[in-house]
Chains A and B, each alone.
Chain A
Amino acid sequence: MKVLVPIKRVIDYNVKIRVNSEGSAVETNNVKMSMNPFDEIAVEEAVRLKEAGLVEEIIIVSIGNKGAQETIRTAFAMGGDRGIHIVNEDNTEPLVVAKILKNIVINEKTDLVIMGKQAIDDDSNQTGQMLAALLDWPQGTFASKVKLNNNEINLVREIDGGLETLNIKLPCIITTDLRLNEPRYASLPNIMKAKKKEIIEIPIVDTGIDFKNRLEVIKVQEPPIRVGGRKVEDVDELINVLKNEVGVI
């Protein structure tokens, strides 16, 4: 079985972002970029399935500018086998991403897609569900445990207030949540090997998908800054201000 793992290059989660001077987007120039953390978990899960002998090949796909290839190579160093880079200098909205991925799934004849539940830049949390819809496949979103038996997956997912268990048949889409696994660090020999793996480059215009954005960004602004108050000396003072000054207890 082949598994497809879509990944996104985003501003590193440790970076404090800032809005550009035009107020039209978040500044990405000269900012540290890395693989979306949820996608790292997806790559790791695919590699574990391969190590367990349940998957033969892991195809990594990313949509974005030139830098995306560096992120694809990071996935290679973790255990990805080959890559597809859909080149788009502009942002690609989730619905367009899902349409492009649908075609790749059909062309590559993959039976399983594992992807992050959301990208930490636009926080949409849509693409996996949309891809499942377009393929008419079942979806196992926000997965924290995945067990593959023959052609069915027993999946535990994170829901508000607890956990839910589902059985879903292959082919299917899985989106990953935080506790699914802990992604590995790539070893130096694997980083070297990753440089030789193949990436096919496809300009987005050649995908045949209408990639025009549907949402017009009017503006991007920083949220109002919350200003801290003051320190209290001890527990008694704390109780006093909460009771008498702000009246919240």
Chain B
Amino acid sequence: MSVLVIAEGNSQEVDRGTLSTITAAQKLSDDISLLVLNDSEEILKSCIKIKGVTKVISAKGELEGSLAENIAPVIIESIKDATHVLSSAGTFGKNIMPRVAALKDSQQISDVCEIIDSETFVRPIYAGNALATVKSLDKVKFMTIRATAFQAAETQGGSANIVDGPIANTNGLSSFVKRDLSESDRPELNAAKIVVSGGRGVGSADNFALLDPLADKLGAAVGASRAAVDAGYVPNDYQVGQTGKVVAPELYIAIGISGAIQHLAGMKDSKVIVAINKDEEAPIFQIADFGLVGDLFQVIPELSEKL
């Protein structure tokens, strides 16, 4: 058995999701190839040091924007004798992996959170309100990995070889225009050790700024419930939940969030959950480790000041 992992990241290093995916890959095989869709020297140098990786495949050509149409043939050419093809279940992996799986006539397994053996996997369904154990008999298994369910692989201590990979071409059907990433000095939601999230109770886009001093003090990422996103307080990439991001930080502080099932699905694996809400009957208190009943407009400034 051997595993091909599709790396995601910038020109310097792979992201946290890829490191978790490498850990998942180690549960399947010792022979792990990492396909890097970026030919910068820097990222290749950092990839060969990742523990567990035996080979780094460096793709070249039309890689800008990682367009699925251009990348899918590169992945297929890189599979060789791999039995499992893995990527992190972020928007990159979700976009590209099914395209590759369909071309190889394989039924992908999405969002794997536990590997039982080489063909049996556990994945959440219904927004994590149920867990399905499934067995795949496809010859090559295509899987996306839920990053929060696996530890990140160590970024030092490995000694992989670099080999030249396939060259990406464009078929002219799609073109990359631009990428607008939210500018922030704060950590990414997926990687943060502490997440501070606001819900509809925060009341407005202006009020959301109340969370900033608290997040800055804690070095936390800022998230939001779907209700807050739908109300237009913050952009969708803040969303934690079934239809947004799934996070599992050391500490999750839910502010003015009632605790709809859809939100809980995105944060219930956090180590410690704190809920601050003026409604003492709010469902969020049923799962929070520590609850504080109070007016967030008083509690949050006080908390930011005293920390």
Give the B-binding residues of A (Cβ under 8 A).
Answer: 11, 13, 16-17, 19, 26, 93-95, 98, 120-134, 137-142, 144, 154, 158-169, 172, 177-179, 213-223, 226-232, 234-236, 238-239, 241-242, 246, 248-249
Residues on B facing A (Cβ under 8 Å): 65, 67-69, 72, 90-92, 94-103, 105-111, 120, 124-138, 172-182, 188, 190, 194, 218, 226, 229-230, 236-237, 239, 242-243, 245, 250-251, 261-262, 268, 271-274, 280, 285-294, 299, 302-303, 306-307
In the assembled complex, the Cα of A159 lies from the Cα of B94 at a distance in Å of 10
In the complex where A133-B98, A214-B138, A217-B133 touch, is A159 in contact with B306 (Cβ < 8 A)?
no
Cβ contact within 8 Å between A139 and B288: no
Cβ contacts under 8 Å, A93 to chain B: 107
Q: In whole angstroms, what is the CA distance A154 to B174 when docked?
A: 10
Q: How far is the CB of A120 from the nearest CB of chain B, in Å?
A: 7
Are B65's CB and A242's CB within 8 A? no
Name the prevailing secondary structure of the B interface residues. Answer: mixed
A164 near B90 with CB under 8 A, answer no
Whether B292 pairs with A160 at a CB distance below 8 angstroms is: no
Q: Which residues of chain A come closer than 8 Å to B289, judged between CB atoms?
A: 228-230, 246
Closest chain-B Cβ to A38's Cβ sits at a distance in Å of 8
Closest chain-A Cβ to B27's Cβ sits at a distance in Å of 18
Most buried by A among B91, B137, B190, B292: B91
Does A133 contact B103, Cβ atoms closer than 8 Å? yes
Most buried by A among B236, B286, B288: B236
Question: Counting chain A CB atoms within 10 Å of each CB, which of B98, B128, B188 scores highest?
Answer: B98
Docked-complex contact B135 and A218, CB < 8 angstroms: yes
Taken together as a complex, chains A and B put the C-alpha atoms of A95 and B95 apart, in Å, by 15
Shortest distance between the CB of A150 and any CB in chain B (Å): 15
Distance between Cα atoms of A213 and B135 in the complex (Å): 11
* Residues of B close to A161: CB separation below 8 A: 181-182, 188, 237
The answer to whether A177 touches B126 (Cβ under 8 A) is: no
The one of B92, B135, B268, B285 in contact with A215, judged by C-beta atoms closer than 8 angstroms, is B135
| Residue in A16, A94, A125, A158 whose Cβ sees the most chain B Cβ within 10 Å | A125
